[in-house]
């Protein structure tokens, strides 16, 4: 996002107050932000707040009534890498769909040289009205991307579809368009481990864990989107992934995972080991189903191979290795130990104590520690966004 020029168009809806959070997110991530407001947006949020947060003057009128300076809509159009209209009211939507040009925001839209995305916000009946739906279709046909509205409580007190997407979501859409430079991992080979391992006790039972595999799959998708060739070695999950640049390898046990990784790792540029590998497996796998007998039962376990440690032990200086650490206490201390013990370049740490982080959920809250002693902590995000953060971090690390 660093250095990307985001032009924000704010229209007159109650959701305008949320734009302050979006501006802060964009600025925090290194974007340059300029804002244009419609005259009615000024009733909902002060231009002083918007200009202070964006660190730029706000365009409202075609010309400044105090000093006669002209706000050049063509220049705005040339300056921006992306034009984001949020919130988009039914009124401005209708004007954009029909080419009206009676304020600075609309003139700028007509002058845009790059993509426009919009985040509609209105009451449920207005949103559901055929005219609104028709206008949204018109904008889509004109190449404008629509960020879907959310369902929930509305300013009118009613509840339903029409709420503007949250600033985090709008930010993710923006990042998707201008954030990651496409193909920045073009032709690179990556091996990724994901999901749990199942360690068989007998033909019907196993020792496993709750890993869903989502984090590893999201990382695989992100590498594919950025041009890499991906080998995804996954334990049993409900997820699937297809892509012509993907080799999808399904295994059950840690031994099987090790075998598949050993076949491929030396040929790879990067390894991302996100699997929740079972540390131990039953010493004996019974060939027949174990029958219940005594009240107590003792299962003897033996240690599984540490796949990541093996990859670290044979790693060359041209290969980059990323491990994961899910901890319940002393996150940094334990992460540092693993980074060193397994000869990693980076370790992605998360704590089971953070709400929304860990197994089964669609979000994660991570910190990344690298072997140059840098530590960066991220906010709670969707696993897609976390995957982007990990790849962006790797890209910066490689230099």
Q: Quick one: 69 or 313, whose CB is closer to ligand CTP?
A: 313
The 337-376 site mask, x for binding ligand CTP (CB under 6 A), equals -x--------------------------------------
Q: Quick one: 25 or 369, whose CB is closer to ligand CTP?
A: 369
**Closest separation in Å from C-beta 289 to ligand CTP:** 27
Cα 315 off chain centre by: 28
Among 9, 271, 323, 358, binds ligand CTP (CB under 6 A): 323
Q: Does the footprint of ligand CTP cover residue 254 (CB under 6 A)?
A: yes
List, as one string, the DSSP characters of 268-287: -SEEEE--B--SEEES---S
- Distance between CA atoms of residues 281 and 209, nearest Å: 12
The 158-197 site mask, x for binding ligand CTP (CB under 6 A), equals -----------------------------------x----
Q: Mark out the alpha helices in the chain (DSSP H runs).
A: 19-28, 47-54, 73-79, 90-98, 104-111, 124-128, 130-141, 167-174, 214-225, 254-264, 307-314, 331-341, 383-398
Q: Token digits for 178?
A: 């201008």
**Closest separation in Å from C-beta 338 to ligand CTP:** 5
- Which region, judged by CB under 6 A, interacts with ligand CTP, from 119-127, 155-163, 301-309, 382-390? 301-309
Q: Does the footprint of ligand CTP cover residue 324 (CB under 6 A)?
A: yes
**Closest separation in Å from C-beta 216 to ligand CTP:** 9
337 C-beta neighbours (distance < 10 Å), count:
13
Can you tell me which residue has the tokens 């030396």?
Answer: 266
**Which H or E run contains 184?**
none
Q: How many residues bind ligand CTP (CB under 6 A)?
A: 14
**Closest separation in Å from C-beta 325 to ligand CTP:** 5
Q: Does the footprint of ligand CTP cover residue 104 (CB under 6 A)?
A: no
Q: Does the footprint of ligand CTP cover residue 253 (CB under 6 A)?
A: no
23 C-beta neighbours (distance < 10 Å), count:
24
- Which region, judged by CB under 6 A, interacts with ligand CTP, from 68-76, 151-159, 269-277, 293-301? 269-277
Contact between 386 and 214 (Cβ < 8 Å): no
- Distance between CA atoms of residues 397 and 391, nearest Å: 10
Q: Which residues pair with 323 in a beta bridge?
A: 273, 347
Contacts of 126-133 with CB under 8 Å at 24 or more apart are 126/90, 126/162, 127/90, 127/160, 127/161, 127/162, 128/160, 128/161, 129/90, 131/94, 132/90, 132/93, 132/94
Q: Which residues pair with 199 in a beta bridge?
A: 207
**Closest separation in Å from C-beta 92 to ligand CTP:** 48
Q: Does the footprint of ligand CTP cover residue 198 (CB under 6 A)?
A: no
SS3 82: strand
Q: Quick one: 108 or 253, whose CB is closer to ligand CTP?
A: 253
- Distance between CA atoms of residues 142 and 95, nearest Å: 13
Q: Quick one: 11 or 304, whose CB is closer to ligand CTP?
A: 304
SS3 323: strand
Among 273, 320, 336, 369, binds ligand CTP (CB under 6 A): 273
Among 15, 58, 325, 346, binds ligand CTP (CB under 6 A): 325
Active-site residue flag, 29: no
Q: Does the footprint of ligand CTP cover residue 279 (CB under 6 A)?
A: yes
**Closest separation in Å from C-beta 237 to ligand CTP:** 14
Q: Does the footprint of ligand CTP cover residue 217 (CB under 6 A)?
A: no
Q: Does the footprint of ligand CTP cover residue 234 (CB under 6 A)?
A: no
Q: Does the footprint of ligand CTP cover residue 306 (CB under 6 A)?
A: yes
Q: Which residues pair with 381 in a beta bridge?
A: 364
Binding site for ligand CTP (CB under 6 A): 193, 254, 273, 275, 277, 279, 304, 306-308, 323-325, 338
Which positions are catalytic? 209
């Amino acid at each position: 996002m660093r250095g990307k020029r985001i032009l924000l168009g704010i229209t007159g809806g109650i959701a305008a107050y949320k734009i302050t959070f979006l501006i802060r997110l964009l600025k925090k991530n290194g974007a340059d932000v300029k804002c244009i407001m419609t005259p009615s947006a000024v009733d909902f949020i002060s231009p002083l707040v918007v200009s202070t947060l964006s660190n730029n003057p706000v365009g409202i009128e075609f010309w400044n009534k105090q000093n006669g300076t002209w706000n050049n809509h063509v220049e705005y159009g040339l300056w921006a890498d992306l034009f984001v209209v949020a919130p988009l009211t039914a009124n401005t939507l209708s004007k954009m769909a029909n080419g009206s040009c009676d304020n600075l925001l609309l003139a700028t839209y007509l002058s845009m040289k790059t993509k426009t995305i919009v985040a509609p916000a209105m009451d449920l009946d207005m949103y559901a009205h055929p005219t609104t739906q028709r206008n949204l279709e018109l904008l889509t046909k004109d190449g404008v991307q629509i960020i879907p509205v959310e369902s929930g409580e509305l300013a009118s007190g009613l509840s339903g579809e029409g709420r503007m997407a949250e600033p985090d979501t709008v930010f993710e859409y923006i990042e998707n368009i201008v954030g990651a430079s496409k193909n920045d991992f073009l032709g690179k080979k990556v091996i990724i481990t994901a999901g749990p391992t199942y360690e068989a006790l007998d033909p019907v039972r196993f020792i496993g864990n709750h890993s869903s595999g989502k984090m590893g799959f999201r990382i695989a998708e992100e590498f594919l989107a950025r041009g890499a060739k991906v080998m995804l070695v996954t334990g049993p999950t409900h997820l699937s992934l297809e892509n012509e640049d993907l080799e999808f390898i399904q295994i059950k046990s840690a031994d099987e995972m090790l075998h598949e990784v050993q076949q491929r790792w030396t040929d790879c540029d990067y390894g991302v080991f996100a699997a929740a590998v079972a540390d131990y497996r039953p010493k004996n796998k019974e060939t027949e189903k174990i029958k219940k007998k005594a009240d107590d039962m003792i299962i003897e376990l033996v240690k599984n191979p540490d796949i990541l440690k093996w990859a670290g032990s044979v790693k060359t200086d041209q290969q980059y290795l990323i491990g994961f650490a899910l901890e319940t206490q002393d996150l940094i201390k334990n992460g540092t130990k693993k980074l060193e013990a397994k000869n990693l370049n980076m370790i992605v740490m998360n704590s089971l104590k953070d709400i929304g982080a860990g197994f089964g959920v669609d979000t994660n809250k991570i910190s990344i520690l690298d072997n140059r002693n840098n530590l960066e902590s991220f906010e709670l995000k969707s696993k897609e966004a976390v995957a982007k953060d990990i790849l962006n971090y790797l890209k910066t690390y490689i230099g």
